[in-house]
Amino acid sequence: MQHQYQLKAPETPQEFEDYYNLRYDILRKPWNQPKGSEKDELEDKSIHRMFVDENNKVVAMGRLHFNTEKEAQVRYLAVDELCRKAGLGAKLMQELEKIAKEKGAEEVVVISREIAIPFYLKIGYKIIKDSHTLFGEIKHKEMRKSLIENN
């Protein structure tokens, strides 16, 4: 069966709960982190996008916020394991980059887990430097992509 996915912003309390549950299940729970650790102080100032399937189940999500007027950052990008390789991560990044550019960003930064580096390289990001190690074991790299044409 071919799945139908819809890209949207979470709006209702239930949509936000489902959105944060997917973020927790993929990015925190496997490392025995407490519920609540999937959120930070920038949630209310951020732009949230998600893909839902035909049953309105959240299957992919990501968040955009601005570090400066010209630098946007994508964090907490996650795709349900059963939906990987369907292009949802790339489409989500395209949407978040488009929003960032419309709001004046010239560059997007991601702090990528090592396992996701090939994904970001494929969509045009460049490794800048080593970053932190999360939970004592997940190494990260800072990666950036210019949103300025001909760059």
> What are the tens digits of pLDDT across the range 123-144?
999 999 888 767 767 788 999 9
What is the rounded distance in angstroms from the CA atom of residue 73 to the CA atom of residue 65?
5
Task: Tell me what pLDDT residue 140 has.
Answer: 83
Q: What is the pLDDT of residues 63-73, one digit of tens each?
A: 999 999 999 99
Among the four given CATH numbers 3.40.630.30, 3.30.365.10, 3.90.550.10, 2.10.50.10, the one describing domain 6-107? 3.40.630.30
Query: Domain ranges in the chain?
Result: 6-107
pLDDT band at residue 1 under the 50/70/90 scheme? low
What pTM value is reported for the model?
A: 0.92
Ramachandran angles phi, psi of 72, nearest 5°: -105, 155
Higher pLDDT, 113 or 55: 55
Share of the chain above pLDDT 70, in %: 95
Tell me the two tokens of residue 75: 């964090």
Three-state secondary structure call for residue 55:
coil
What secondary structure letter does DSSP report for 141? E
- Angstrom distance (rounded) from CA 16 to CA 21: 8
Check whether 151 has a pLDDT greater than 60: no
Single-letter residue type at 105: A
Amino acid identity of 97?
E
Reported as a single tens digit per residue, the pLDDT across 98-110 is 999 999 999 999 9
User: Are 37 and 75 in contact, with CB atoms under 8 Å apart?
Assistant: no
Percent of the chain exceeding pLDDT 90 equals 75
